[in-house]
Amino acid sequence: MPAARVLIDGPSELVFDYAIPDGLPVVPGCRVRVPLRNRSSAGTVLQLVDATDSGFALRPLDALTDPQPLVTPKLLELGRWIADYYGCGFESVVRVLLPEAVRTEENSAKTRKTVVLDQPADEETLAQLAKRAPRQHTILSLLAHAPDQRLPLTELGSAAATSVKSLASKGLVKLVDSEVRRDPEADGQAEILADTPLELNAEQQEALDAILATVPAVRGDGGTHQAGQTGETGEAGKAEDGQAPPAAKPLLLHGVTGSGKTEVYLQAARHTLEAGRTVLVLVPEISLTPQTVRRFRARFADIQDQVAVLHSNLSQGERFDEWHRIRKGQARIVIGARSAVFAPLPELGLILVDEEHENSYKQDQVPRYHGRDIAVLRGHLEGATVVLGSATPSLESFHNARDGKYRLLRLTERADARSLPVIRVVDMRLESRKQKSKTAFLSDPLRNAIERKLTNNEQAILFLNRRGFARSLQCPSCGHVCTCPHCSLALTYHRSDDRLLCHICGHQAVVPRRCPECRDPSIALQGFGTQKVEDVLRKVFPEARVARVDADALRRKNALRDLLNAFRARKVDLLVGTQMIAKGLHFPNVTLVGILNADIGLHVPDFRAGERVFQLITQVAGRAGRGELEGEVIVQTFTPHSPSIQFARHHDFDGFAAQELEMREQFHFPPFARCAVLTSRSTHERRAEFTLQTLHRRLSEDAPPGILIGEPLPSPLVKAHGQFRFQLMLRGPSARPLTRHVQRILARNPLPEDVTVVFDMDALSFT
């Protein structure tokens, strides 16, 4: 006799088995109501099991809340792969597959009263109403000319309710409840003008043809036909599924900045829709979503209501509406951040992963999946084409392409034969000797270039990946630095709030007027952030219109979209920002990009540090010269001879990849091995350290062949959120043996109550 294993809604991970009443069509993925103690609760069916295995009588399910499963079998299979690969509970994965906005019963479709013309009035009735009830006559006239002969009650005026009631009693109209979509892009969104496909150059056309050759089409019998040839998709491609059509190799689209990758995406999406399939578009940052949505809605103006948006900044109601539109097939294009990879799209045909190299695709909470890798696996399971696009591909993806697991497509020139911007490197060691002023972070070459651009009515972007006004407050006498009491980090001064803030835990402190240690009043600010850059620019260039883009300046909803629209409309001359403006944005009038401190992130204990700096410089530099005018980039650095900076200066990705991959292979780092991090944390420093040392001994005792286990060491950020942190790195030739070995040891060794251990497979952060 089958029983249902149900994940109970709520913060806990409660999973119970329930008997299935006769005639109730319960399948995995269904939503049900179940008895839980003395109340009724909602839950999700994870799987069907044999009731006799429990050994005791099971309570029956109360009801099936939805006849159709909200989680499809393919997504459930994907979830089981994630749980096995990343070493986490299947229950935690299901909570990602089925967002809280959909699970909770507090959310529902929004409705409004709508007046519908039920029966057209004859001329005699209209004439009588015109004399005796002119308001009723007006309502009938409006309804007769309205789309579908219906209008919201609120649009008929505040005094229309009585007239509508009278008309309803005569059988002329009826009042119904109609669903209203909560459109996340509707608030303040300017009118979108339709555009047409652009003519592709030879490289773009070749890339498009390669994509279309693999996009599956819906057959007349309701099945699918897969074009192209099959191939391995790496670790993810080892998942088995007998029902899905064979998937083609993922395509790595390596195109320089401004080469027209988005145009290739748009035309590929159009052909996919015409083939009867749906499209999923992933972007790395929520800040890039509005621009991407705008471009897709402009291109698909005839069906722009079929474009849906999914990301964590949506309200619960907006997320509820968008998710159900996708599930019902009303939205055929989905655009969103990493969590959108689980969108319940039917007949998925094309997955586009833009800026595939970005670390933001990696989830930092359980389940710690990587959105790009899950996109590759989902494409394999559903027989969809996967396109990974970037001007600076991750070395893992590039290595897969070099080994034949992915197919490499290249766009080596900018669209319309525009030239790449000229990158100049400024040695700040020399500049700092020449300048002793507060504007020392603006070198003479950069200041002069800004003046030229402003004179020519052109725009400039200044990039600094550090928010706040000053990075620390330090006493020159005793050397004391104001630090966070909960984290091993200096507090950053924010002038707009006149507070010292911790960028890790959010702790705030009043700015001391004297040194807390020696009482010296000469305690001073050190370093600079985006707030200080903005302040100095307003003084140095008083005629320029300056704006800032960072997390502090964009606390209001849609603030980023409004600011970027103002910049696009040339209402802003100088834009100062963090990595939120580093990629994906297209401003034709920007002819200068200044990178104020290219060394941030270069000298950190992370084997990917050089790769990230190379990617960041290349991506930021790509914002310049995207229009008719040539671009210029000025990179300020204290380490001008770094390979990352020099290869980026010459736009030489292949040269950088060759020397970096050689180093990775010698030291057995990804992509030549799988890398995981085991972290212990506790409010008691010694317990966190001792726990990890104990686990290290257990892991080393019977480690599978080929697994390298590092030493337990303090994390680079040894204290965060009041907890001390220790970590060790594990490497191995494949992921599953490593994951299963760690999970086996964790299951055998109970942890102290106040110690938390986190396992991160394919870790990208080592801080």
Sequence-ordered list of residues with C-beta below 8 angstroms from that of 359, at least 6 positions apart, any chain = 612, 764, 765
Name the residue with higher pLDDT: 101 or 425. 425
What is the DSSP code string of 395-437? HHHHHHHHTTSSEEEEE-S-GGGPPPPEEEEEEHHHHHHH--S
Residues 51-69: pLDDT tens digits?
Answer: 777 678 899 999 998 878 8
What is the rounded CA–CA span in Å between residue 155 and residue 124?
Answer: 27
pLDDT of residue 152: 85
Residues 111-153: pLDDT tens digits?
Answer: 778 888 888 877 888 888 888 888 888 888 888 888 778 888 8
Say if residues 54 and 45 touch (Cβ distance below 8 Å). no
What is the rounded CA–CA span in Å between residue 116 and residue 119?
Answer: 9
Q: What is the largest CA-CA distance in the chain?
A: 96
What mean pLDDT comes out for the span 412-422?
84
What mean pLDDT comes out for the span 339-343?
95
pLDDT of residue 363: 94
Residues 482-497: pLDDT tens digits?
Answer: 999 999 999 999 988 8
Say if residues 546 and 572 touch (Cβ distance below 8 Å). yes
Is the pLDDT at 750 greater than 50, yes or no?
yes
Say if residues 591 and 632 touch (Cβ distance below 8 Å). yes
pLDDT of residue 437: 58
Is the pLDDT at 440 greater than 80, yes or no?
no
What mean pLDDT comes out for the span 442-456?
93
Say if residues 13 and 4 touch (Cβ distance below 8 Å). no
pLDDT of residue 223: 52
Is the pLDDT at 244 greater than 70, yes or no?
no
Mean pLDDT of the chain, nearest integer: 87
Choose the most confident range, by mean pLDDT, from 162-166, 321-325, 758-762: 758-762
How many other CB atoms are found less than 10 A from the CB of residue 27?
16
pLDDT of residue 110: 75
What is the rounded CA–CA span in Å between residue 83 and residue 517?
Answer: 50
* pLDDT classification of 380: cutoffs 50, 70, 90: very high
Which of 220-234, 256-270, 314-328 bottoms out in mean pLDDT, i.e. has the lowest?
220-234
DSSP code of residue 108 = -
Name the residue with higher pLDDT: 56 or 718. 718
Which of 23-37, 164-178, 375-389, 402-416 bottoms out in mean pLDDT, i.e. has the lowest?
164-178
Q: Which two tokens stand for residue 454?
A: 């402003």
Residue keyed to tokens 């979503």: 289
Say if residues 657 and 398 touch (Cβ distance below 8 Å). yes
Question: 284-304 in b/e burial notation, b at 16+ Cβ within 10 A?
Answer: bbbbbbbbbbbbbbebbeeeb
Q: Which two tokens stand for residue 445?
A: 């070459």
pLDDT of residue 278: 96
What is the rounded CA–CA span in Å between residue 422 and residue 650?
Answer: 9
Sequence-ordered list of residues with C-beta below 8 angstroms from that of 122, at least 6 positions apart, any chain = none
What is the DSSP code string of 576-620? EESGGGSSS---TTEEEEEES-TTTTTSSS-TTHHHHHHHHHHHH
* pLDDT classification of 191: cutoffs 50, 70, 90: low
Sequence-ordered list of residues with C-beta below 8 angstroms from that of 528, at least 6 positions apart, any chain = 441, 464, 466, 469, 470, 471
Residues 267-313: pLDDT tens digits?
Answer: 999 999 999 999 999 999 887 788 888 899 999 988 888 999 998 88
* pLDDT classification of 246: cutoffs 50, 70, 90: low
* pLDDT classification of 12: cutoffs 50, 70, 90: confident
Q: What are the structural domains, with CATH classification, of the chain?
A: 2-103 (3.40.1440.60), 110-180 (1.10.10), 202-415 (3.40.50.300), 418-469+528-663 (3.40.50.300), 674-761 (3.30.70.600)
Nearest in space to 408 (alpha carbons), one of 210, 268, 266:
210
Q: Which two tokens stand for residue 371?
A: 């959105």
Q: Which two tokens stand for residue 271?
A: 């052909």
